[in-house]
Structure 1
């Protein structure tokens, strides 16, 4: 079933997100922006955590998570250890939510207002994760210098 594949992919990339944040030589660099780089790696990390906790945890898993999207981009200088903890918690939420979804649940319309199945939207969310993960990797290689 696709659920197992999604679990493997989300696990791989959320662990890679954690690894990217851990790989910054300077914790301050996580929050840097530059001329054409308007989002720091820290804010992108918070955005991914918020996005997955909202769309997977709250919407599909009834986790009770309340998203504040504006804070995902306005908070600064969250300690690296806290970012990593948030990523680990998000991975737990995503995997446990996917564990509870049946094949029938995956074929239901996702409660977003657009015509797409839950399966389709989970694939879309994985693409979103991968896109921002690539941005974080590039951000680290460009701006992690003192």
Structure 2
């Protein structure tokens, strides 16, 4: 195996791990809330969990599918934030999982040349690698917001890492 394929495989493996890890945490958060709570807003200037899921789907599609595959960019970003109802928890979760799976399929198929090609997305100029870094960090950012809002609603820890010793130190090389 050459270094390029090793690098690509490691990059893709870690991108997929982070996408799946965010989905895992969102599933745990969703299990704690009611249908009504999905559309509640902490205050008028913040977004509901439903809005955040729609926003994640739009962002993942724009950065992870359209920019990498060359597919049409049909995102209507304002609708992600103005929607106030109409989708159930499971529908939102299904939409997010489908979008993540489509992003993963796109990443698997994208060429190395496209990963280093500069593409404009939302007025920013980044390579395909830059766009994948953005979509992972953006997904994590909003996953944290969802977790925080659910913790506030329920006054309890969500136990994302209850079976992991997070105090474990790195092994010395």
Q: TM-score band, normalised by the shorter chain?
A: 0.7 to 0.9
The structure with the larger Rg is: 2
1:27 aligns with 2:29: no
Q: 1:135 aligns with which of 127, 145, 164?
A: 145
How far apart are 1:65 and its partner, in Å?
A: 6.0
**What residue is the counterpart of 2:169 in the other structure?**
none
Structure 2, unaligned runs of 5 or more: 1-7, 156-173
Q: Deviations over 1:117-137 (max 9, x none)?
A: 211221122111111100000
8 Å Cα contact 2:38-2:49 kept in structure 1:
yes
**What residue is the counterpart of 1:61 in the other structure?**
69
Query: In 1, distance between residues paired with 2:150 and 2:130?
Result: 31
- Identify, as 1 or 2, the structure richer in helix: 1
TM-score by length of 1: 0.85
- Which 4+ stretches in 1 moved above 6 angstroms? none
Q: Give 3-state SS (helix, strand or coil) of 1:111's partner.
A: strand
How far apart are 1:63 and its partner, in Å?
A: 4.8
1:109 aligns with 2:123: no
8 Å Cα contact 1:17-1:45 kept in structure 2:
no
Query: In 2, distance between residues paired with 1:104 and 1:73?
Result: 34
Distance change (3 Å), C-alpha of 1:127 and 1:39 = same
Structure 1, unaligned runs of 5 or more: none
Q: Deviations over 1:69-103 (max 9, x none)?
A: 11101112221121011011111111100101232
Query: In 1, distance between residues paired with 2:38 and 2:45?
Result: 12
Query: In 1, distance between residues paired with 2:94 and 2:72?
Result: 18
How far apart are 1:36 and its partner, in Å?
A: 7.3
How far apart are 1:20 and its partner, in Å?
A: 2.2
1:97 aligns with 2:111: no
**Greater RCO (Cα-Cα under 8 Å, separation 6 or more):** 1
